[in-house]
Amino acid sequence: MVAKNIGEPVLRKEDARFITGKGNYTDDINLRGQAHAFFVRAPVARAMITSLDCSAAEAADGVVAVLTGAQVAEDGLGSLPCGWMVLSKDGSEMKQPPHPPLAADRINYSGEPFAVVIADTLQQARDAAELVEVEFDELDAVVSVADAQSGPQIHPEVPDNTNYDWELGERDETLKAIENAHHVTRLSLVNNRLIPNAIEPRAAIGDYNSGTDEITLYTTSQNPHLARLVLTAFVQLAPEHKLRIIAPDVGGGFGSKIFIYSEETVVAWAARKLDLPIKWTADRSESFLTDAHGRDHVSEAELAMDENGNFLALRVKTLANMGAYLSTFASAVPTYLYGTLLAGQYKTPNVYVEVQAVMTNTAPVDAYRGAGRPEATYLLERIVEIAAQEMNMDPAELRRKNFIQPEDFPYQTPVALEYDIGDYEASLDKALAMADYAGFSARREASVAEGKLRGIGFSCYIEACGLAPSQVAGSLGAGVGLWESGEVRVNPTGSVTVMTGSHSHGQGHETTFAQLVASQLGISIDDVEVIHGDTGKMDFGMGTYGSRSLSVGGSALMKAADKIVAKGKKIAGHLMDAKSEDIDFDDGEFKVRESNLSKTFQEIAFAAYVPHDYPLEELEPGLTEKAFYDPANFTYPAGTHICEVEIDPDTGVTSVVKFTAVDDFGTIINPMIVEGQVHGGIAQGIGQAMLEHGIYDETGQLQTGSFMDYCMPRADDLPNFDVGMTTTVCTHNPVGAKGCGEAGAIGSPPAVINAITNALGVREIDMPATPLNVWQTLQNATHEDARGE
Amino acid sequence: MSIPISMTVNGKQVSKSCPANRTLGQFIREDLGLTGTHVGCDTSQCGACTVHLNGDAVKACTVLAVQAEGAEVTTIEGIGTKDDLHPMQTAFRACHGLQCGFCTPGMIMTGIDLVNTASRDNVELGEAEIREGLKGNYCRCTGYQNIVRAVATAAQQMED
């Protein structure tokens, strides 16, 4: 299976257009005669709309129309649905409030759109929006996740502001084990709210052709087919075959562009209603206010151990903030992408988790890079670190002692997953060596001599990626299948056009997938063109999220390429007067075994399209094959991250002086791209641990609504990262790949916080560990010590 | 009210009329159709719209088009061609200094300015100086490591 191209750090094909300014992002597209949309948004977090008068706005210069929530309802547009049904402990279905694309009478979060102004120019639309007369009867907002269940009820459909009360694992066994344990480590912790901030803001252009009754929607989507399915089957925007969605170059997503939002829905609807192309591009303030946020959990956990530090049981209770509406995949994130990962890399025999999803008057919360798995990893790797402190054990050795061993695979966890393969000790050992753990105490002494504090922290993470078996997902409430499609279209000259249902928004599919297909067909990657992101071009596909593209989408392409080779053998057999079973395909040539007869891939392609000498009775002409691949299991990337920090105790300024990541992603096609994915993930993880925090005030106003108050890592906030790999090949997909896109963001936050608590000599510090937070924690610890004496 | 303006963009003389409140970024993208310059925020924080104005890097969202009257403007489209790339463009590809590509034009324009300024002021451009010099440009994909490497690599080549 390992062939030429596989494992090579091939430079990216897509770069040629990006480095010359020739990319084609949604906002780069302008349609003849287009109008511009500007959304009118609520300035308050919770209110009734008592009056709305758009007449002055409608009369303003250049205004084509002002459309409102009432008109959306009149036209019969449905609610934006959440696609994953989660059942509560008592078997009842989750409580889902309606989510109208434009609010008609009630406002549930600050920034929620309730009208849209369409005008000839953006400036005119923006100016006219100021003329919309609206009055609100303001209500008390529910903001904090901890207070959500006792606050005023936001939606009539959701009593106690609670969508579900879910559980996983054996409750009684777990509680018994905790009760009888030698030692129980207890921890309360918060997973801070994040705002994704892809650098390209969301955008959409709706275009309607009254002659064909077809809508084309250009939009910044990670999964255009899913968007089409939701907008047609659920929102009833148009029949599915009359809506084409094109997601051209997309400037980063990190989850935030999975979801189906109000704006693209309204723009497509308005384009047909007004028979006019309509364009909308978010400004950054709109991104902050309305892109689905991430994380925002409050949890309590207990880890029980015997006298030797063997883990006996883990119990977790989590409140997860869903925001004002259930976004497209929101319900699955704190349940099936979170609770299922709480066994981590450890042989803990009993795990029990309860999750209550609650609503607040804040922007919807949904999957953000890692989605549930960073929350699980943060909780588990923090409590394990504290357990090591309390048991007076080396944190690396406590982890090692509890690892699932290579001979234990396949390993059934107590929280529903079956890990297929891994070698956690190999990653830990390599990371310890790369991080020079042995030399840490000398480095710490050197720091202390300079008046600084130094700490080291570990994180041994696992994630479930490659979403995943459709039947399993379906049985757990998924509203869609989770396979992927791929097509390998061989052109008559032997070059190849590849269509994939995966979507690249920075991940480099045009290169990785070309390497994969080129190596399967024995041709140059220059002869392979990868096309994605257009429902008018490729078969239905599921898109890109959950580190699934290579393991699922790549596997579909391998299957399609195998079919090409199989058909090629039949054509070659005919041309060389041999049985197809006697043809070998190697390095781009079809050879008759034990002879010197051969045909090139290009000759076979030509023969397929110019079938003058061809077995037409038995074989169709042409050489194009499709495959749909539905995985047999999730994939389980895993690894060890080690962070080392140095802290100035006078200021709290914390420098990450060394960051080591050793990951097992299975088979790697392009190590350059994989390392880049790891770098980016770690940067976002360090951002969460040290800088980023989405904050609302008590009235529901977003306090971190711009790059001036939401602190994302800049070039001088980060060190270089040392990235290493270990490999156990995924046992159940043909590529052998596990996925690499989210690992950095999953593994790094606890490593950073563990390093900081280690340096400060404290048990806990909340994320983000800003200089103020670090300094304050140090002051508190010093005062407590003083009082203790 | 439209105001007539003329400037040189990527070596070509352009004369147009535009409203006084139109930013240079909007002018480049909307009026000239040069969409390589991207707009990523509205507070001059992200740097995706960085272009050169009379040889210096500026954020095009923070300059009014009328302020560029008579100026020489260079955008990502003006520094090299597919077959004759600027060393900074080559280095970004060679070092995998980009992923989604959205911040890339601004990063490249800032990188070129950084190298030119360091060379003019005779300042050594080490990793710390590059990181400091790039802090006006956000990238959410790469973690900056390969961007820093790309700028260092290009600096070497631009010197040679």
Torsion-angle region of B26 (φ positive above 0: left; ψ -120 to 50: alpha; else: beta): alpha
CATH class assigned to A483-629: alpha beta
For residue A314, pLDDT beyond 70: yes
pLDDT tens-digit profile of A514-553? 999 999 999 999 999 999 999 999 999 999 999 999 999 9
Whose tokens are 């992101």? That residue is: A533
Give A168's contacts (C-beta < 8 A, 6+ positions apart). A335, A339, A340, A351, A352, A353, A415, A416
Which residues of chain B are within 8 Å of residue A283 when distances are taken between CB atoms?
41-42
Looking at residue A530, its amino acid is V
Q: Is B132 on the interface with A (CB under 8 A)?
A: yes
Q: Which residue of chain A is at minimal alpha-carbon distance from B128?
A: A716
Lowest mean pLDDT across A90-94, A469-473, A674-678, B16-20: A469-473
Q: How far is B15 from chain A (nearest CA, A)?
A: 21
CB contact under 8 A, B45 and A706: yes
Question: What confidence category does residue A475 fall into, taking pLDDT thresholds of 50, 70 and 90?
Answer: confident
**Distance in Å, alpha carbon of B89 to nearest chain A alpha carbon:** 6
Q: Do A18 and B104 count as a contact with CB atoms less than 8 A apart?
A: yes
Domain B2-78 top-level CATH class? alpha beta
For position A788, what pLDDT does the model report? 63
Using one digit for the tens of pLDDT, what is the confidence trace for A163-191?
A: 999 999 999 999 999 999 999 999 999 99
In chain B, where the domains are located? 2-78, 87-159
At residue A727, φ and ψ (nearest 5 deg) are -135, 120
pLDDT value of position A4: 65
pLDDT digit string (tens) for A332-347?
A: 999 999 999 999 999 9
B150: chain A residues, CB-CB within 8 Å: none
Segment among A470-474, A644-648, A704-708 with least mean pLDDT:
A470-474
Question: What is the per-residue pLDDT for A784?
Answer: 81
Chain A: residue nearest B104 by CA? Answer: A19
Task: Give yes or no for residue A230 having a pLDDT over 80.
Answer: yes
On average, the pLDDT of chain B sits at 97
Q: Do A714 and B135 touch (CB under 8 A)?
A: yes
Beta carbons of A676 and B45 less than 8 Å apart: no
Q: Tokens 């392979």 correspond to what residue? A: A528
Q: What is the mean pLDDT of residues A377-399?
A: 98
* Chain-chain contact of A21 with B99 (C-beta, under 8 angstroms): no
d(CA A34, CA A206): 9
pLDDT of residue A612: 96
Distance CA B87, CA B110 (A): 13
| Cβ–Cβ below 8 Å for B82 and A16 | yes
**pLDDT at residue A732 greater than cutoff 90:** yes
CATH number for the segment(s) A32-139+200-251+257-290: 3.90.1170.50
What the block records as the tokens of B93 is: 């590809």
Nearest by CB to A683, from B41, B134, B143: name it.
Answer: B143
Same fold, A297-467+633-788 and A483-629: yes
Subunit contact A676:B96, Cβ cutoff 8 A: yes
Asked if the Cβ–Cβ distance from B77 to A21 is below 8 Å, we say yes
| CA of B48 vs chain A CAs: smallest distance (Å) | 8
CB neighbour burial string for A110-125, b if at least 16 within 10 angstroms, e if fewer? bbbbbbbbbbeebbbb
Residue A2 has pLDDT above 60, yes or no: no
Q: What is the CATH number of domain B87-159?
A: 1.10.150.120
| pLDDT for residue A1 is more than 60 | no
Assigned token pair, A258 = 């999975």
Q: What are the pLDDT digits (tens) for B81-101?
A: 989 999 999 999 999 999 999
Asked if residues A444 and A657 have their Cβ atoms less than 8 Å apart, the reply is no
Side chain identity at residue A10, one-letter code: V
For domain A297-467+633-788, which CATH number applies: 3.30.70.60, 3.40.50.2300, 3.30.1490.120, 3.30.365.10? 3.30.365.10
Contact call for B35 and A25, based on CB within 8 A: yes
Mean of pLDDT values over A352-370: 98
* pLDDT over 80 at A209, yes or no: yes
φ and ψ of A406, to 5 deg: -50, -35
Residues 6 or more apart whose CB falls under 8 angstroms from that of B38 comprise A25, A27, A199, A200, A251, B48, B49, B102, B103, B105, B106
Give the model confidence (pLDDT) of A575-604 as tens digits.
Answer: 999 999 999 999 999 999 999 999 999 999
Tell me which chain B residues have a C-beta less than 8 angstroms from the C-beta of A673.
Answer: 96
By C-alpha distance, the chain A residue nearest B142 is A680
HSE, CB side, 13 Å, CA atoms: give it for residue A690. 28
Mutate to test the interface with B, among A121, A197, A199 (most CBs of B within 10 A): A199
Q: CA of B159 to nearest chain A CA: how many angstroms apart?
A: 21
Q: What pLDDT is recorded for position A256? A: 97
- Please provide the average confidence, as pLDDT, over all residues in chain A: 97
Q: For the ranges A391-395, A472-476, A759-763, A764-768, which has the lowest average pLDDT?
A: A472-476
Angle between helices B87-94 and B104-121 (to 10 degrees): 120
Residue ranges of the domains in chain A?
Answer: 32-139+200-251+257-290, 297-467+633-788, 483-629
In angstroms, the separation between the Cα of residue B49 and the nearest Cα of chain A is 11
CB-count exposure of residue A726 (10 Å: 0-12, 13-18, 19+): buried
Question: pLDDT above 90 covers what percent of chain A?
Answer: 96
Note the pLDDT of residue B159: 83
Which pLDDT belongs to residue A746? 98
